[in-house]
Amino acid sequence: MPALEITNAAALPADWRDLLALTKPRVMSLVVFTGLCGLLAAPELPPAVLGFTAILCIALGAGACGALNQWYEADLDAKMRRTAKRPLPAGRMDRQTALHFGVGLGAFSVLLMGLAANWLAAGLLAVSILFYVLVYTVWLKPRTAQNIVIGGAAGAFPPLIGWVAATGQFAPLPLLLFAIIFLWTPPHFWALSLFVRSDYAAAGIPMLPVVAGARATRRQIFIYSLPMAAAAIAPWPLGLAGPIYGASAAILSGVFLVLAARVFGSRSSDPADMPAERHLFAYSVFYLFALFTALVADRWIAW
C-alpha cells in the first residue's frame, strides 16, 4: 500500500541528507560565487572571518529560499519528472519540517549577517529571501509568464549583498552587477524551459513557451540578451572596471549574443532536438561564472 508507506516515511524524523537537499546545493553554488565576487570586487575588504561569515549567510539565505520554495511547491514538484524525486513529493519528509527548517535557516542567516557584517546587508538579505518566496514563488510563478523576469531580481541580490557587507553602502558597480544577473535570468531560464517544456506544462506553470509558444520565447531570449550584454560591458566605459574586465565582458557577451541569435533562428519543436537551446543554457552558466571571475581578476590584478 503506497499511501501507508508514504505516511510511515513522513512520520520518521527527516534524514539529514534530505534536509540538505532541500537547500538546493547546486543552485547555491552560483549564488555563493556571485556573492563572493561582489564582496571581492569592493574597494575595501572586511577581515577574512567577517567576509567568510557574510558569504556563509548568503549561502544559508539561498538554502532557506530553496527549502521554502520546495515546501510551497511540493504538489507541483510531484507532477514534474525533474522534481518528483525531491524529499517532499517523494514522501520522505513532512511539509511542516521543511517549513520550520526554511524559516529557521532564513532568520538565522539574517541575524548572523547583521551581527557579523552590518544591518544594511542583513536587510538586503531579508528582502531577497522574502522577494524570492513571496513575490516569485507564491505570487508570480503560478500566475504570469513574466514570472522569471521579475523573479530574477531575487537571484540578482547576492553580489549587491556581498558588496554592501564589505563596504556598508551602495555604489554604482554592484547595482550594475544586479542589473546583469536580472537581465541574464530570462534568457537563461527560457532556454531551459524550451527543452523541458512538457514538464512545466504538466504542472500547469505558465512558463513563456507554454503560454506564448516557442517562437515568441526565442525572440524574447534574443531581445533580453541585448540589454544584458550592454549592462555587462557598461562598467568598463563608465570607469568602474578596467580593460581586463572590459575585454572579457565584450568577448563573453559577443559569444552569448551569437548563441542567442542561433536560438532565435532555430525552428525545432521537439525538446529532444534543440541543440541551440541546450548550448545557450550551458553557456549562460559559464558566462556568469567567467564574467564575475573577470571582474575580480580585474580588480585584483589591474587596479
Partner 1 sequence: MKPEDEVLRRQRDRSRIMALLLGAFVVLLFFITIAKIGINW
Which residues of this protein are in contact with partner 1, per CB under 8 A? 8, 12-16, 46-47, 49-50, 53, 56, 115-116
Q: Which is nearer to partner 1, 35 or 155 (CB)?
A: 35
CB of 45 to partner 1, least distance (A): 12
Burial of 232 (0-12, 13-18, 19+ CB in 10 A): buried
Q: Which is nearer to partner 1, 50 or 138 (CB)?
A: 50
State the cell numbers at 57: 549567510
Dist. CA 118–CA 116, nearest whole Å: 7
Q: Which is nearer to partner 1, 35 or 246 (CB)?
A: 35
CB of 116 to partner 1, least distance (A): 5
Dist. CA 278–CA 263, nearest whole Å: 9
30, 152 contact by CB (below 8 A): no
CB of 91 to partner 1, least distance (A): 15
Dist. CA 92–CA 74, nearest whole Å: 12
Q: Which is nearer to partner 1, 74 or 93 (CB)?
A: 93
Dist. CA 153–CA 140, nearest whole Å: 12
202, 79 contact by CB (below 8 A): yes
CB of 28 to partner 1, least distance (A): 16
Dist. CA 148–CA 153, nearest whole Å: 9
Q: Which is nearer to partner 1, 113 or 183 (CB)?
A: 113
Task: Name the strand (E) or helix (H) holding 122.
Answer: helix 119-130
CB of 20 to partner 1, least distance (A): 9
Q: Which residue has the cell 537551446?
A: 277
In this structure, the number of other CB atoms found within 10 A of the CB of residue 20 comes to 12
The single-letter DSSP state of residue 272 is G
CB of 246 to partner 1, least distance (A): 34
The gap between the terminal CA atoms of the chain, to the nearest Å, is 66
CB of 168 to partner 1, least distance (A): 12
Q: Which is nearer to partner 1, 21 or 116 (CB)?
A: 116
46, 117 contact by CB (below 8 A): yes
State the cell numbers at 142: 503560478
Q: Which of 68, 168, 169, 167 is nearest to 109 (CA)?
A: 68
CB of 54 to partner 1, least distance (A): 11
Q: Which is nearer to partner 1, 59 or 291 (CB)?
A: 59
Q: Which is nearer to partner 1, 9 or 257 (CB)?
A: 9
